[in-house]
């Protein structure tokens, strides 16, 4: 299960960074900085699959967060 957690965490980070770049490019008026689209845009099915996997990974991370987060399981305050 640790490998599943690692993969989903990486996908969530990739998705968050991608959204950050999309937002930054919109604010700066610099065009389309969507990395997923730039990397696999010629394959729309693969592009949509990446978005789906990122979304499912986020759902998994939300559901299983307390199982893996050391700060959440230690009972300490942040």
Measure the CA–CA gap between 43 and 63, rounded to whole angstroms.
31
**39 vs 17, 60, 62, CA distance in Å?**
14, 25, 27
Q: Per the structure, how many domains does the chain have?
A: 1
Q: Tokens 């893996």 correspond to what residue?
A: 68
Measure the CA–CA gap between 33 and 21, rounded to whole angstroms.
6
- What range defines the domain where residue 23 resides? 2-74
Cα torsion angle, 27, 30, 35, 40, sign = positive
When pLDDT is averaged across residues 30-57 and rounded to a whole number, the result is: 91
Q: How confident is the model at residue 29 (pLDDT cuts 50, 70, 90)?
A: confident
pTM of the entire predicted model: 0.76
The token duo for 56 is 């499912």
The pLDDT value given to residue 78: 47
């Amino acid at each position: 299960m640790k490998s599943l957690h690692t993969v989903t965490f990486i996908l969530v980070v990739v998705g968050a960074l991608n959204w950050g770049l999309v937002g930054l490019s919109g604010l700066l008026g610099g065009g389309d900085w969507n990395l997923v689209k730039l990397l696999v845009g010629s394959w729309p099915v693969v592009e949509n699959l990446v978005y789906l996997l990122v979304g499912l990974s986020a759902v998994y991370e939300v559901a299983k967060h307390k199982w893996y987060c050391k700060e959440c399981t230690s009972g300490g305050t942040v």
